[in-house]
């Protein structure tokens, strides 16, 4: 393989990593919900901020998964699907960052770790073939949808801004999961699904506090 054909994907992957972890995210769509929400009590503010930090960390990890899977995708159509999905979900990063700032909080300090680990998992998933990789996307989105639904149960009812953001994110995740299955995604074995839930639980439990 020519050096440029090997280096270009590596440079592109490194650039996407820097943008996802360190650069301010930019949304093409406006932040859902009204910024004029009733004032939160201090415990409500801290709880909402912690949940939105978890959501932001999850979006960093999702970006990394898509980037890793695109990096090692075999078919050009699969690569393009993954890059497009990551691009669309960059809105989620921007929305969560905006809400965290409104709540006087910050993203997880461990985001570089979440990105590196998820990128590696994405590459490994892609190494199993495009059908398995797309199935991994579908299962990831299914689990994320469940996680976001649980956040709607846990967010303060008065925090309509955060709730609107989470609702919009959930809608997008459902669409991406359905698209991955339609593109040929294969179902994953039960042990893999269980491992994915365990890894996700570690990340979300940690990001709530750090």
Mean pLDDT of 160-173: 96
- Its sign, for the CA torsion 104, 50, 150, 68, is positive
Specify if 138 maps to a domain. Answer: yes
The mean predicted confidence, pLDDT, of the chain is 88
Specify if 116 maps to a domain. Answer: yes
Mean pLDDT of 170-175: 93
Most confident of the following: 61-75, 153-167, 188-202: 153-167
Specify if 5 maps to a domain. Answer: no
The enclosing domain of 172 has a CATH number of 1.20.1260.10
Q: Please count the structural domains in the chain.
A: 1
- Measured CA to CA in angstroms, residue 112 lies from 39, 64, 66, 118, 139 at distances of 32, 10, 15, 10, 23
pLDDT for 1 beyond 50: no
User: Global pTM?
Assistant: 0.88
Specify if 16 maps to a domain. Answer: no
Range of the domain at 127: 45-207
Contact (Cβ atoms closer than 8 angstroms) between residue 203 and residue 57: yes
């Amino acid at each position: 393989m020519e050096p440029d054909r090997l280096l270009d994907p590596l440079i592109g992957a490194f650039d996407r990593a820097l943008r996802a972890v360190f650069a301010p995210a930019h949304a093409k769509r406006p932040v859902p919900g009204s910024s004029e929400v009733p004032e939160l009590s201090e415990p409500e503010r801290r709880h909402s901020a912690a949940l939105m930090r978890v959501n932001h960390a999850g979006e960093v990890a999702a970006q990394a998964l898509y980037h890793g899977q695109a990096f090692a995708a075999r078919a050009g159509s699969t690569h393009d699907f993954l890059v497009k999905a990551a691009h669309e979900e960059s809105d989620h990063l921007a929305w969560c960052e905006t809400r965290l700032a409104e709540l006087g909080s910050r993203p997880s300090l461990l985001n570089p770790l979440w990105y590196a680990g998820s990128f590696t998992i994405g590459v490994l998933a892609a190494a199993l073939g495009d059908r398995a990789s797309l199935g991994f996307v579908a299962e990831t989105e299914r689990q994320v949808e469940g996680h976001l639904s649980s956040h709607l149960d846990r967010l303060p009812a008065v925090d309509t801004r955060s709730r609107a953001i989470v609702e919009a994110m959930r809608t997008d995740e459902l669409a991406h999961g359905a698209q991955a299955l339609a593109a040929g995604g294969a179902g994953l074995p039960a042990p893999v699904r269980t491992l994915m839930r365990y890894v996700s639980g570690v990340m979300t439990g940690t990001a709530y506090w750090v």
